[in-house]
Amino acid sequence: MAIDLSAKIPNNVDLDRDPKLRRALEAWQPKYVEWWKEVGPVGFQTADVYLRTAVDVGAQGWANFDYVKMPEYRWGIFLARPEPDRTIGFGDVADEPAWQEVPGEHRAALRRLIVTQADTEPASVEQQRRLGALAPSLYDLRNLFQVNVEEGRHLWAMVYLLHRYFGRDGRDEGDELLARRAGSPDKPRMLTTFNDPVEDWLDFFMFTMFTDRDGKFQLLSLAESGFDPLARSCQFMLTEEAHHLFVGETGIDRIVQRSAEITRLDSNGDAFRHGAIDLPVIQRYLNLWFSSCLDLFGGEVSSNAATYFAAGLKGRPHEEKYVDHVERDDIRTLHLPGDSERLVAKEVPARLAINEDARDSYIRDCERAVARWNKTIRNAGLSFELSLPHRRFHRMIGEYAGHYFNPDGELITSAEYRLRADDWLPSPSDRAKVRGLQTRAITRPGQFASWIAPPLRGIDGRPVDFEYVRFD
């Protein structure tokens, strides 16, 4: 089932059989391209970028690699193949047949879930738009643009669902998605993390490591949805998302490698002096992005999440790994701030604490990556260790928001917190030093900025010094 890339909107959803829907999406398409040109990557729009484009939805051979100018990228609509007689795997509707249409009583909730996911996709493109000018290599520049065009495609995936299943309201939402802007004071994106500035490439790799990884867990949860078109759409997005996570995790690994090598050579352990990034600064960026991304999983106690779970709208990542898919009677013990500024154990019905299950899986996945980076540091002969801050640290949403915790998760006073904040989060001076290393793009094939090690391999079997971006 190869996809026809010459179609106006490449798709595997039989758009030709639904002329009204096709016309609506064809009317949205030029607005989308307008948006891309206006707030997508700054510069490079006429460059030939070695990008992959989805041409199938199978496990193998689903992508085609070739040079393409970004505004001409073939953004399309692809759903994973349907699973015959699929049933819902969780909640009060467990074992009932999955829905092929939107159930009337869940229309508002499903629309909200889809719009919230959709909004993050263009937001990240906007956040990353200025990074091309500071790229550490052609390899990295190409990866940035690959991530950007695929986030654009994820927007297409969600806008298709809105147009196809939500009528007029859905079309209005599709237009609104192109009207909000990351970081705008009057029309911001919906979630805080997606309004935060991504100013340098350390931010970018932290973003693709931690924020795209939140995306992965959200998509895994939505891939469980009883609403089958949403589930299938998210399944295929996960295939593309894997590369974004690779970019983040290996990007940090390569930075850490260079930092460790340089730190070991300098008698004062000063990496910046030799064109690399100090490891404690990397730790502070990590603290910032990890804590911000934990907020994306929502409150520790959430009646919305409980409702979505009970109704079969949004499950947990890899729901099949849980023993109890209904969670009607279970309880979970949470340690929450009590009246007297102490943490107290509180028993909460498991459904109300369902966000904690997703957050747990996310934290485990992040811990695995941190262990990998620490191995890289050890291999360079250094004893420094990176670590994830505690889940209570620096939270703006949920039960810990409004309280102060150190990175070990201990409750502290606001005065103590203010005194230590620069040890725990990037200071303006940290940011200035990182930016001091990133003042221009490195555009000679095979050349890399001083603060990052080259990757082990290139993309699509190409060598590391391949000309991943060609300028006119």
What does the binding site for Fe ion look like in residue numbers (CB under 5 A)? 121, 151, 154, 212, 241, 244
Helix boundaries (H) for 317-427:
354-379, 414-424
Q: Judged by CB, which is closer to Fe ion: 202, or 449?
A: 202
Q: Judged by CB, which is closer to Fe ion: 106, or 154?
A: 154
Q: Judged by CB, which is closer to Fe ion: 233, or 259?
A: 233
Q: Judged by CB, which is closer to Fe ion: 154, or 332?
A: 154
> Smallest distance, Å, CB 223 to Fe ion?
13
User: What order of strands is seen across the sheet that includes strand 469-470?
Assistant: 63-69, 48-54, 469-470
Quote the tokens at residue 188.
Answer: 């911001």
Cβ atoms of 429 and 443 closer than 8 Å:
no
> Smallest distance, Å, CB 104 to Fe ion?
29
CA separation for the pair 311, 91 (Å, rounded): 6
Q: Judged by CB, which is closer to Fe ion: 154, or 394?
A: 154
At residue 207, φ and ψ (nearest 5 deg) are -65, -50
Quote the tokens at residue 354.
Answer: 């369902």
Q: Judged by CB, which is closer to Fe ion: 212, or 249?
A: 212
Quote the tokens at residue 472.
Answer: 């006119």
- CA dihedral defined by 280, 283, 285, 290, rounded to 10 degrees? -170
CA separation for the pair 182, 124 (Å, rounded): 8
> Smallest distance, Å, CB 229 to Fe ion?
17
**What is the dihedral sign for C-alpha 133, 141, 362, 154?**
positive
Quote the tokens at residue 67.
Answer: 């040079």
Residue 50 makes CB contacts below 8 A (sequence gap 6+) with 65, 66, 67, 142, 459, 460, 462, 466, 467, 468, 469
Q: Judged by CB, which is closer to Fe ion: 208, or 263?
A: 208
Q: 272: closest CA among 427, 432, 428?
A: 432
Quote the tokens at residue 416.
Answer: 């103590």
| DSSP one-letter code for 96 | S
Cβ atoms of 50 and 468 closer than 8 Å:
yes
> Smallest distance, Å, CB 192 to Fe ion?
17
> Smallest distance, Å, CB 123 to Fe ion?
10
> Smallest distance, Å, CB 157 to Fe ion?
9
> Smallest distance, Å, CB 376 to Fe ion?
23
Q: 201: closest CA among 149, 116, 140?
A: 140
Q: Judged by CB, which is closer to Fe ion: 244, or 395?
A: 244
> Smallest distance, Å, CB 215 to Fe ion?
5
> Smallest distance, Å, CB 124 to Fe ion?
7
Question: Integer distance in angstroms from the first to the last C-alpha of the chain?
Answer: 35
Q: What is the DSSP string of 148-170?
A: HHHHHHHHHHHHHHHHHHSHHHH
Q: Judged by CB, which is closer to Fe ion: 213, or 394?
A: 213
